[in-house]
Structure 1
């Protein structure tokens, strides 16, 4: 039974270089035969019989010319065969050299070296198009595999903590049956489990965005931002956070669900990592080829170097692991935003405000 994914077993045949060399030689032979036939047709117009010039000098007739023509035609045909085979072999080798480079790169990728690229130099032709398409495919494969590995590593790392906490709480409750408070224990287990569920959902979103293949359409960026703002309105009012909004209508070409989640993540972060009585400023800026979404908020002062790393998974700034409102994040909100922006070929800038808080600037193609 053949192994799934294994290369099929094939009998060795003529190489492509040999086939091309034979085809070049065959073309020259056909061209030689055509010239041979044309020569014979032309010799038909030479008179037959003994011919003499007026001076009495003998002139070759048709039969004489045919004998000489056939003799040297066979030598010329043999030369064409040799030139066709040798020259065809050399020319085919030069033409097919890029294919060997592509095949070598494909074999190394098959062996697990996903960082291998063809990087074929030269002007654009069919072979460079093939090499560029393969390099693009390898970029996507390497990126997808890296995302999957990062997802597995992040999931195993981040989900270990809530599971360990639940296990510890259960063991403590079992060790002291008389002194345990079942309601408090269940409440803590439920909160920890909710955190694990939220982290898992964020990780799944991060992996889905990283795989690419998004369906895009023309959407109103301001309308999606308005919906996200309405969703966090109650949370903002509970913490007395003021909102400043400027949302002119502008269309972008993007995935509706992901851009909605991007706006929701930015506004949610701006509120939960804010200070009571603070403010959040939401702005949409239209441009000729780009549209910008900016979320700025007050809050604790952050180190600019730390702010630049907040888009990495599970990176939390100082004081942002648990906020005054009791929110404990997984450190994936801005990581998901960064992945969504990359998937749409946009740009993301996260800056720490000198007065405190963050300024997040997202640029998307229109």
Structure 2
């Protein structure tokens, strides 16, 4: 089968050339209209003139007294036609000359106007992961082109922040994954080679715990990636019901830690993914149980007006470190079985539902987490959910 003929690529017309052609066309049209109007008005004016000066060279031979009225009219008509022809010719020559000047001026003006666009284009062509810090910082009047450049700079700011967050995430994830793998390798290579029969159960339990930690980390990363991708499901759900299920899931762990659980669950209807919403509340309850003190308390409320609020007692949280807790792998203490993804997953799921997460340290120790979802449906009648 013969290959299809490759057609030459059509040369692209630049915006500068198009603007120049547009300026010149507009000048030509307005010039022709002006020329036509001038010609018509001059013709009417010269036709209505009752006194006409006739050059002696235009008179026929003989005395002027011998000219008849018809001869005088013919001479006057010839002079008027000649004057109109001269006017039209000179006007066309002037129009052509000014058209050439307008083309040159239009080309120059279009270049000056489009110069910021070339600057923006050059910056976009240079864009890469290595120079996301560069900005256009266009100077000049506050017009549409400056707005475009400022919008591009704002986009670069967001891209730079996203790349930096991704770079930190990859570095932290690789570190967190490397640690359990190193522990497993050391246990297999060193401890198993020297272990006796009595040591095998303990080494086995350590390897299982390390493996469970790796599983939790991988599950957290997958959940974080899923919520960052956005919502695949959009259906009616109630955060209060998800909170009731999450509290039931962690009720035994809270009882074992001697924690008091206070609930005020009022309907909080949303339109989103029920699975991710359950994961959001479960992470908050799990965080409140793990980072608490013996005999402490957990308070959880939901409402269509105030959103989801989880408060827990615990150690004092430095105010300057509160915002960082929403970042992946950020923990106040390395103690415990967590991997530092719980609150970052909560924020990602909330953002996927068009919401926000706010953290605030409590005066006596502990943390308050407030989740607001803009996907909240119309407020329902306040009716507590019993668990």
Scaled by the length of structure 1, the TM-score of the pair is: 0.77
Secondary structure at 1:186 match in 2? helix
CA separation of 1:80 and 1:347: change in aligned 2, threshold 3 A: farther
Determine the structure 2 residue equivalent to 1:321: 335
CA separation of 1:253 and 1:351: change in aligned 2, threshold 3 A: farther
CA separation of 1:359 and 1:40: change in aligned 2, threshold 3 A: closer
Question: Larger relative CO (CA 8 A, sep 6+): 1 or 2?
Answer: 2
- Looking at structure 1, the residues matched to 233 and 98 of structure 2 have their Cα atoms a distance apart, in angstroms, of 58
Answering whether residue 21 of structure 2 is matched by residue 22 of structure 1, we say yes
CA separation of 1:11 and 1:142: change in aligned 2, threshold 3 A: farther
Determine the structure 1 residue equivalent to 2:53: 57
Per-residue deviation, residues 126-176 of structure 1 (Å, max 9, x unmatched): x56755765565455445433432332112111111011111111234422
2:240 to 222, 225, 230: 222
Matches within 5 A, 1:322-337: 322=336, 328-337=337-346
2:322–2:359 Cα contact (<8 Å) kept:
no
1:294–1:361 Cα contact (<8 Å) kept:
yes
Deviation larger for 206-215 or 330-339? 206-215
Answering whether residue 312 of structure 2 is matched by residue 297 of structure 1, we say yes
Matches within 5 A, 1:1-366: 15-36=14-35, 53=50, 57-58=53-54, 61-110=79-128, 112-117=130-135, 125=144, 134=152, 138=156, 141-176=159-194, 178-179=196-197, 181-210=199-228, 219-252=237-270, 255-287=273-305, 291-307=306-322, 309-318=324-333, 321-322=335-336, 328-342=337-351, 344-354=354-364, 356-365=365-374, 366=376
CA separation of 1:13 and 1:272: change in aligned 2, threshold 3 A: closer
Bigger Rg, structure 1 or 2:
2
- Looking at structure 1, the residues matched to 303 and 313 of structure 2 have their Cα atoms a distance apart, in angstroms, of 20
- Looking at structure 2, the residues matched to 115 and 212 of structure 1 have their Cα atoms a distance apart, in angstroms, of 27
Secondary structure at 2:252 match in 1? helix
- Looking at structure 2, the residues matched to 329 and 339 of structure 1 have their Cα atoms a distance apart, in angstroms, of 18
RMSD of aligned alpha carbons: 3.7
1:102–1:118 Cα contact (<8 Å) kept:
yes
CA separation of 1:247 and 1:178: change in aligned 2, threshold 3 A: closer
- Looking at structure 2, the residues matched to 226 and 174 of structure 1 have their Cα atoms a distance apart, in angstroms, of 45
Secondary structure at 1:316 match in 2? coil
Aligned length: 344
- Looking at structure 2, the residues matched to 226 and 267 of structure 1 have their Cα atoms a distance apart, in angstroms, of 10
- Looking at structure 2, the residues matched to 132 and 214 of structure 1 have their Cα atoms a distance apart, in angstroms, of 33
- TM-aligned CA deviation for residue 301 of structure 1: 4.2
- TM-aligned CA deviation for residue 281 of structure 1: 0.7
- Looking at structure 2, the residues matched to 25 and 313 of structure 1 have their Cα atoms a distance apart, in angstroms, of 60
CA separation of 1:47 and 1:341: change in aligned 2, threshold 3 A: closer
- Looking at structure 2, the residues matched to 313 and 82 of structure 1 have their Cα atoms a distance apart, in angstroms, of 65
- Looking at structure 2, the residues matched to 244 and 362 of structure 1 have their Cα atoms a distance apart, in angstroms, of 18
- TM-aligned CA deviation for residue 300 of structure 1: 3.7
| Structure 1 portions without partners, runs of 5+ | 1-8, 323-327
